[in-house]
Structure 1
Amino acid sequence: MNHRWIILWGAALGASAVTAGAFGAHGLKNLLPPASLEAWEIAVRYQLIHAMTLLILFALAQLLDSRLIPRAAQLMTVGTLCFSGSLYLLALTGNKWLGPVTPLGGSLLIAGWLTLFYAGLKTKTGAV
């Protein structure tokens, strides 16, 4: 089973979250209003949390024979891109039309977590 894309996305999201966090703290601190900086920080936080989650899902995908683990990873990857990406753009541009993309991303993140929950329910005892 080759789920290399999970670790690649996890690493890419992790590295870019640290970069975005540093950019927000140093490059945007004096340029953006507090509300925009807060949105930026939320985006970084969620991106980093889900980058780490993808790395955990990669490990689980190696241990469990479940098609649900990669599905959860896909949902979390797209959800992170939509959620954090829309908040980054909203913080930088102030474009309100991006607003609906954020809850869509959040919904995909929730769906990813629920898919992982379902995978746990379907895992047979002693499978790990």
Structure 2
Amino acid sequence: MNPATVFRSGALLTATGISFGAFGSHGLRAMQPPVPERQINSFNTASSYLIYNGLALLAISFHPSLQAGNSVRRYRIASGLVLGGAVVFSGSIFALVLGGKEKMKFLGPVTPLGGLAMIAG
């Protein structure tokens, strides 16, 4: 990914995390049937991780190697791992909370894979 794509990805993740965080704090509490507090906390954690990883991508996009036009492979790989990991990690938690744990049970083991990708990035 080039610096502009990394930057846009970071901005999109951050904006999505803020939006989902607001929904998690307000919208989930108003849902019927009520969403358990534990699931609301999980949803908010996933939102926070989107924000953190979005900020990480914004920082990576300003790395001098990328700014100089040297699309260094390790930064491209790191960016992809951070982006993919955040989407898998947070997305699986969002799906588990919104789709119901019973229906989305298969996503439970997927969440840690997203976490590992974020760590690797």
Q: How would you bin the TM-score normalised by the shorter chain?
A: 0.7 to 0.9
SS at match of 2:29: coil
The AA in structure 1 aligned to 2:16 is S
1:72 corresponds to 2:78: yes
Identify the range of structure 1 (78-87 vs 32-41) with the bigger mean alpha-carbon deviation: 32-41
The AA in structure 2 aligned to 1:105 is G
Q: Does the 8 Å CA contact 1:83/1:106 hold for their aligned counterparts?
A: yes
Structure 1 portions without partners, runs of 5+: 113-128
Residue by residue, what CA displacement relative to the aligned partner does 1:57-101 show, whole Å, maximum 9, x if unpaired?
000122584321121011000000000000011111222111011
SS at match of 2:111: helix
Q: Which residue of 2 aligns with 1:26?
A: 26
Question: In 2, Cα distance between the equivalents of 1:90 and 1:101?
Answer: 11
Q: Does the 8 Å CA contact 2:3/2:62 hold for their aligned counterparts?
A: no
What's the offset of the Cα at 1:30? Answer: 3.6
Structure 2 portions without partners, runs of 5+: none
Query: What is the percentage of aligned positions where both structures have the same residue?
Result: 38
CA RMSD between the two structures: 1.7
Question: In 2, Cα distance between the equivalents of 1:63 and 1:26?
Answer: 43
Q: Which residue of 2 aligns with 1:120?
A: none
Q: Which residue of 1 aligns with 2:38?
A: 35
Q: Does the 8 Å CA contact 2:21/2:47 hold for their aligned counterparts?
A: yes
1:62 corresponds, among 64, 67, 74, to 67
Runs of 4+ aligned residues of structure 1 deviating over 6 Å after TM superposition are none
Question: In 2, Cα distance between the equivalents of 1:18 and 1:110?
Answer: 21
The AA in structure 2 aligned to 1:108 is A
1:98 corresponds to 2:107: yes
Q: Note closer, same or farther for the CA distance 1:53–1:63 as it changes in structure 2 (3 Å cut).
A: farther
Question: In 2, Cα distance between the equivalents of 1:30 and 1:92?
Answer: 13
Q: TM-score, normalized by length of structure 2?
A: 0.85
What's the offset of the Cα at 1:17? Answer: 0.7
